Chain A
Amino acid sequence: MALMNPNSSFVQEMTAFIPTLRAFGRSLCMNVTLADDLVQETMLRAWNNRAKFQPGSNMKAWLLTVLRNQYYSELRYKKFEVEDPDGQYAAGLSAQPKHEAELELEELARALRTLPDERREALLLVCADGLSYKQAAEICNCAVGTIKSRIARGRDHLTATLGGKIRSRDYLRPEGMGPNSRSPADLPNELWLSH
């Protein structure tokens, strides 16, 4: 059996993580175009530094770290040049009739934009992407306790911002993850998830 060219396997492995890079990039930039620029920069940097990557180590964490560093060293400032201070972009988004699920995600996106970058990235890495505190701390170059503190503060902000907009479907659970529905009366026991 022929051995695979290491450069090819590097590109293949990187390709598998591009969707995650796009989602993490979007959560940092909160802007589609800048996030995709950031992903392309990350891919090029990773490719140019492929000799530094140790095969068998965690490529996802490595790529997320490269992307994050790139964002904080360059793109973070560009973001403010293309932001939408008058809310015209957001208003345009809301002009079309939307499903409730889409409206919820728009509300969430608006609330996420008001969070400091560090809290937003910690929340999304752990709560959305499912990384451990330790992995998130390594990517964000900080202590585990700092990640937890950022998650707690981000959670408090989002809960306060979106708390009045919780809809009944927020209590629905996907099949296979427990009963199909939860009534608000069940909330005291069911509301919280731990990470």
Chain B
Amino acid sequence: MRDIDYIRTVVDFNPVLVPRWLEDRLQRWFKDVMHEPLPEEIVGLLRRLEDEANR
């Protein structure tokens, strides 16, 4: 059991190595979506929730 715990600790501690070019692309993809303007449906829902919250 101790060996398994030790292996788990080592596995948890050691980082996963990811190529820099891949990480850059993943971040660009994610941020591109984050920077898109919100669609009307989501803006409308937010307004509705704000109205309910202020009631």
A144, CB-defined interface residue at 8 Å: yes
**Across the interface, do A193 and B30 meet the contact criterion of CB distance under 8 Å?**
no
**Across the interface, do B53 and A195 meet the contact criterion of CB distance under 8 Å?**
no
**Across the interface, do B30 and A124 meet the contact criterion of CB distance under 8 Å?**
yes
B1, CB-defined interface residue at 8 Å: no
**Across the interface, do A11 and B49 meet the contact criterion of CB distance under 8 Å?**
yes
Chain A residues with CB under 8 Å of B17's CB are 155, 192-195
Chain B residues with CB under 8 Å of A88's CB are none
One digit per residue, 1 when the CB lies within 8 angstroms of any chain B CB and 0 when it does not, for chain A 162-195 equals 1000100011010000000000000000111111
**Across the interface, do B30 and A27 meet the contact criterion of CB distance under 8 Å?**
yes
Give the number of A-B contacts (CB < 8 Å).
126
Chain A residues with CB under 8 Å of B31's CB are 23, 128
Chain B residues with CB under 8 Å of A123's CB are 26
A85, CB-defined interface residue at 8 Å: no
**Across the interface, do A124 and B19 meet the contact criterion of CB distance under 8 Å?**
no
A43, CB-defined interface residue at 8 Å: yes
Q: Chain A's interface: helix, strand, loop or mixed, by majority?
A: helix
Q: Which of A58-66, A74-82, A89-97, A102-110 contacts B (4 or more CB under 8 A)?
A: A102-110
Q: Chain B's interface: helix, strand, loop or mixed, by majority?
A: helix
A73, CB-defined interface residue at 8 Å: no
Chain A residues with CB under 8 Å of B41's CB are 36, 40
A18 vs B35: C-alpha distance when bound (angstroms): 11
Chain B residues with CB under 8 Å of A11's CB are 46, 49-50, 53
B6, CB-defined interface residue at 8 Å: no
B3, CB-defined interface residue at 8 Å: no
One digit per residue, 1 when the CB lies within 8 angstroms of any chain B CB and 0 when it does not, for chain A 99-122 equals 001001100110010000000000
Chain B residues with CB under 8 Å of A8's CB are 50, 53-54
Which B1-44 residues sit within 8 Å CB-CB of chain A? 8, 11-12, 15-36, 38-39, 41-42
Q: Shortest CB–CB separation between residue A114 and chain B, in angstroms?
A: 15
Of the A-B pairs whose beta carbons lie under 8 Å apart in the complex, a sample of 9, sorted by A's number, is A15-B46, A127-B23, A127-B27, A128-B30, A133-B12, A144-B12, A159-B19, A190-B20, A195-B16
Q: Add 4 more A-B contacts to A108-B26, A162-B22, A193-B17 (CB < 8 A).
A: A8-B54, A18-B38, A39-B42, A158-B22
- Enumerate chain B interface residues (CB-CB to A < 8 A): 8, 11-12, 15-36, 38-39, 41-42, 45-46, 49-50, 52-54
